Amino acid sequence: MIKLYGFTMSNYFNMVKMALLEKEIAFEVVDIRGSQDESFLKMSPMGKVPCIETEQGFLSETNVILEHLEDLGTGPNLMPADPYERAKVRELMKELELYLELPARTCFPEAFFGGSVSDEVKETARVNLAKGIACLKRNGAFSPFVAGDNFTMADVIFQYSANLAGAASKRVLGMDLFADLPEAKALLKLIGERASAKQVAADQAG
């Protein structure tokens, strides 16, 4: 059985957990934080969570794990069969990580961990997040899911990036990240109603 390493407050961990639940793949959780311990680096070379342990070995990096789960070929399809459509979903997955998650993450120390970030970091985050949202507005379908009619791996990433990015932007930048993209707010709500999202939320609440 697949082992999922990480902790419930990690949004990346929750992406993989949602994908496992959606694809009805049996798994067990190993509650662990990322670290630079030699033993952990053997499982996850950058010392980050999540990583998974399969019968063949370990895998890290969330988008790679999500694609691997799809490649196992079981459960509901979370990627389109058509190569171009599949690539478009991958494009959105990448855009969400690079242009939404990562700029928002620069504000996390102040938003969630009791630290503070400099005005320079905030200004850079504000500019980059505005570009990321513009990209999502241009490239996302939101009909109702990020890539179109069907729930895909892009929605898995969207759910756990957009929720924290929205909260961090509000707290640190005083910015309503999705003011110009109400479809994103509606989609967060829609995905939040799925059984997988409810399970993730329940596990988070302990």
Nearer to ligand GSH, 162 or 181 (CB): 162
Among the candidate windows 45-53, 118-126, 173-181, 191-199, which touches ligand GSH by CB under 6 A? 45-53
CA distances from 94 to 67, 154, 204 (A): 12, 9, 26
Region 48-87 residues binding ligand GSH, contact defined as CB under 6 A: 48-49, 61-62
Q: Does 34 bind ligand GSH (CB under 6 A)?
A: yes
Q: Does 103 bind ligand GSH (CB under 6 A)?
A: no
Query: CA-CA-CA-CA torsion for 193, 198, 204, 206, nearest 10 degrees?
Result: 140
Nearest-approach distance from CB 128 to ligand GSH, in angstroms: 17
Nearest-approach distance from CB 91 to ligand GSH, in angstroms: 16
State the residue for tokens 């756990």.
Answer: 160
State how far Cα 202 lies from the chain centre.
17
Region 3-22 residues binding ligand GSH, contact defined as CB under 6 A: 10-12
Q: Does 152 bind ligand GSH (CB under 6 A)?
A: no
Nearest-approach distance from CB 66 to ligand GSH, in angstroms: 9
Strand ranges for the chain from DSSP E: 2-6, 27-31, 51-53, 58-60
Question: Which residues are at the interface with ligand GSH (CB under 6 A)?
Answer: 10-12, 34, 47-49, 61-62
